[in-house]
Amino acid sequence: MSQTKINIKNESSVPILKRDGFGTKGRVVTVKANSFEVTKISKYDEFLKYTLEIKPIDAEKNIEADIKRERSDYGKSIRRRILKELSLKKGEWFQNVVIAYDGGTTLFTTDRLGFDKETETKPVVIEIIILKDLHNINGKSTQYSVQISRTDTVVKLTQLEKYISGEEFEWDFFSDDSLDVLNALIHQRAGEKFIKSGKSSIYNKGNKTKITGGIELWSGWFSTVRPGQESLFVNVNPTFTTFYQPLRLDEFLLQYLYPKYQNLPDEFSDYQLKDINEILKGLLVCPLHLESVHTERRIKKLLPATKVAHFEYKPMTDSEETFPLEKYFEDKYQHRETKKLFVEIMSEEGTHVAWPIEFCQITEGQRYKTNKLTGKQRAEIISAAKMKPYEHEKETIKGAHEILQLHKNPTGVGMEVASHLAEVDAHVLESTAVEYAENVTIPANNGKWNLKNVKFVKSGEMLAFWQVVVFEQQEKRISEEDVYSFIEKLITQCKIQGMNITKNIPHIQYVQYHKDDLDKVIKSTYEDAKKTLNRPPQMMLFIIPGDKIQSTNTKLYETIKRVMDTEIGCLTQCVSVNSNYKKLFNNLQYCANLTMKMNLKLGGVNSVLPEKKIGLPSGEDVLLLGADVTHPKDKNGCSICSVVGSLDNRATRFITKYQVQERSGREEIINIDKMIKEVLEDYCNYKKNKKGNVKNTVASLLPPCIIMYRDGVSESQFERVLKWELLKIKEACAEFQAGYQPKITFAVVGKRHHTRLFPGNPKEADKNGNCLVGTVVDRKITHPTLNDFYLQSHYTHQGMARPSHYTILYDDIKLTTDEFQCLSNALCYNFQRTTSSVSIPSPTYYAHLICARARMYLNDDMKLPKVHPNLEKYPMYFM
């Protein structure tokens, strides 16, 4: 895969778009935020920075380096223990010195350490620390080499005051050492008592819920120091994550593989082994058979039977003797029943170790990979983790007071933090009305409306040739009579909503399938439909089992989309059903939801927003762009990038572009210019072909304004993304048409943050206790320099609502704060497949959806096929 090199360092810095005002539209209210104001930062003005290297002795390979972030918490906890042992051994070094350490390679101190006070040169010291209760495989206590050396860096906390006052700002502020110091300090005490995960989360193992599949859900608190206007704040938010249950490995595998196996087999297929090893690699286990040895070792992989038969077991580094693996354990542990399954252990140089799975105990407190969760597990987690807003607020205060003890100077540097949630002025924008056919306008009530007595603005292509396919893994579970009745209701609903569709019930085909030959089965159903209809079908409706809970269902769904989108070129609609399918089949609201998707796919328009809400005050045409990047589940995958662009002035129809790029740890869309030019070409062709449009030159068709809503950018990458992508967008415009220089606004929309808003007055809450839809916060807890705001644009049926965070990084159009906030809010009402406002603007949502769809297309060699030419006339095929 070719990769364009990004060279940004030599370019001039991007001008910082500073806040030029606050929003004033809407009703003024007061809200509370889950932030606690720092009233005094520290009695120390500066910290010194030391590098800290901790390495196990007699271990040539640093196993921790191969372990992903989910498993790295163990290494950090060991390093924190070692530093504590060092401080006890060398108390004079740390006397009258406050340290800040988060388990990595950097140590911050309020003064020079004892060994460093006698000279101006920077001495390097090495000490040996022994952890007596942790052994190597030979039974000897583990030893670690600790090397400390001072750097030239002096961290000045006084610089923070210049940042939060708006006096100074640099882009690298987001990764500033001073914030790292404060974050390490606020977690230090709680990290000794609870399980610390990552940089910012503390988990309480005493509060956990068992989840199917051998995992458990732990509750905890995320906390970080953030800049606000004229002050710092500690953002505290309840959080949940999954951990492995501390089971014996054979018990875990039984739970993980349930219900496929009641008893573990002696052998697994290559496909199953790959899946299991993705879950086991790097997992810490304690050997139950080495009773006098307290050691923890990481799993390398589950061995297939052929490898077990030829594995030469060598447990000792100081011995040349090896043993046949199965015979060794049969002879030495006759009193224990050993199975045929063994795991190879990541071990030091000179050993070759594997243990029976029933001799391995999973160490408590290891995070489970969230990208491996099944739909059923996610549903259980959502149910277990949901909290009403008042419960969320209560847990936030508990985390601040009882866990972090922010009001009791837990940092030791004299930090003073308010004991109550920050109160913030906010304003509530009105919900946007939605227009349907025959000039019917439906007012939205707190972000919601319904389809009763309305028809779609425009019907898509007449649906006359289609087929229904019912996938079954066993004999007919869903009767043909039930399917017939469901399709009849669906057709009736389509007609009620104004869709052009024949009243004839399509042919219903039942298919038995196995997950190993899905491609072949899906292609066969299409060929059968062609024979039945005597022509290619316009659309195929697939009824698939499992409610997207079982992995087989997910694989089936993804294969349907990949084969039909890229190889065959036929529109598809999937319906996921479980054992309670009759309830779903009789649900008219569900049928109405399907009609919205089907009409969009066929080229229709469901609803529009009032022109005054969606247009620019100047009346100029505007191209609305959404862009997103999704990253692979593992380091061997690749990233998917997408750009979507509006085709019409009412922003109802969008064209989509996607591409693959190497995973680089960066967020920039490398070849965004190529996709922008393709969007501009489609935009102009749409305008040219629009009935009654007399414009015929490209220059006359191009939009004078472009607004980009960019998703998925962390604050630390704002500058890089803006610097690269803005330049590429401008270059693409100039290359597409000489002299074309549109006015551009570039904004980032984020949901991956921990800010939550609570109503200041119960009368200003919705029925679930959340802030009202349309609540905007752009004061106090927002950035002291950048032009950002929080907008809660959607209604949350259960649990705590999460506002979206908008940051305008560049603006040629010169929209006022009110204008941009109102436009962004309105765009959350024209996501075409719902009857409620959504949490992010529709262009961003569509970009996210197309990234997810394109990832289904990836094949094993990371090639990304294009959508079949048949679907070019159906730009909303992905809905």
**Residue 189 pLDDT > 60:** yes
Residues whose CB falls within 8 Å of the CB of residue 15, separated by 6 or more in sequence, listed in order: none
**Residue 11 pLDDT > 60:** no
**Predicted confidence band of residue 69 (pLDDT cuts 50, 70, 90):** very low
Q: Is 422 part of any domain? A: no
Report the distance separating Cα 626 and Cα 708, nearest Å. 6
- Whether 528 and 650 share a structural domain: no
Q: Is 331 part of any domain? A: yes
- Whether 268 and 343 share a structural domain: yes
| pLDDT tens-place string over residues 821-842 | 999 999 999 999 999 999 999 9
Residue 162: the pLDDT is 87
- Whether 575 and 562 share a structural domain: yes
- Whether 539 and 569 share a structural domain: yes
Q: Which domain holds residue 253?
A: 249-363
Q: Is 738 part of any domain? A: yes
Residue 527: the pLDDT is 97
Query: Where among 567, 601, 635 does a domain terminate?
Result: 601
- Whether 664 and 518 share a structural domain: no
Domain holding 570: CATH number? 3.40.50.2300
Q: Which burial class, exposed, middle or buried, applies to 271 when counting CB atoms under 10 A from its CB (0-12, 13-18, 19+)?
A: exposed
Reduced to 3 states, what is the DSSP secondary structure of residue 462? Answer: coil
Q: Is 448 part of any domain? A: no
- Whether 100 and 240 share a structural domain: yes
Report the distance separating Cα 235 and Cα 250, nearest Å. 41
| pLDDT tens-place string over residues 719-746 | 999 999 999 999 999 999 999 999 999 9
**Residue 389 pLDDT > 80:** yes
| pLDDT tens-place string over residues 478-522 | 999 999 999 999 999 999 999 999 999 999 999 988 777 899 999
Q: Give CA angle at 265 (264, 266), nearest 5°.
A: 125
Residue 804: the pLDDT is 98
**Residue 169 pLDDT > 70:** yes
Q: How far is CA 41 from CA 159, 167, 202, 399, 836, in A?
A: 11, 18, 22, 20, 43
pTM of the model: 0.93
Q: Is 195 part of any domain? A: yes
- Whether 233 and 254 share a structural domain: no
**Predicted confidence band of residue 10 (pLDDT cuts 50, 70, 90):** very low
- Whether 399 and 499 share a structural domain: no
Report the distance separating Cα 191 and Cα 232, nearest Å. 22
Do the bridges between strand 360-362 and strand 539-545 make them parallel or antiparallel, or are there none, so unpaired? unpaired
Q: Is 2 part of any domain? A: no
Report the distance separating Cα 449 and Cα 3, nearest Å. 46
- Whether 225 and 303 share a structural domain: no
Query: Where among 601, 628, 660 does a domain terminate?
Result: 601
Q: Is 533 part of any domain? A: yes
**Residue 550 pLDDT > 80:** no
- Whether 287 and 345 share a structural domain: yes
**Residue 5 pLDDT > 50:** no
Please give the average per-residue pLDDT across 97-104, as a whole number: 93
Residue 692: the pLDDT is 61
**Residue 60 pLDDT > 50:** no
- Whether 697 and 835 share a structural domain: yes
Number of domains in the chain: 4
DSSP state of 45: S
- Whether 392 and 541 share a structural domain: no
**Predicted confidence band of residue 4 (pLDDT cuts 50, 70, 90):** very low
Lowest-pLDDT choice from 13-17, 21-25, 308-312: 13-17
Query: Where among 303, 336, 363 does a domain terminate?
Result: 363
Domain holding 331: CATH number? 2.170.260.10
Q: How far is CA 293 from CA 29, 133, 136, 296, 321, in A?
A: 62, 9, 8, 9, 20
| pLDDT tens-place string over residues 395-411 | 999 999 999 999 999 88
Domain holding 756: CATH number? 3.30.420.10
**Is the CB of residue 244 less than 8 Å from the CB of residue 283?**
yes
Please give the average per-residue pLDDT across 861-875, as a whole number: 92
Q: Is 875 part of any domain? A: no
**Residue 475 pLDDT > 60:** yes
Highest averaged pLDDT of the listed ranges 70-79, 547-556, 577-586, 620-629: 620-629
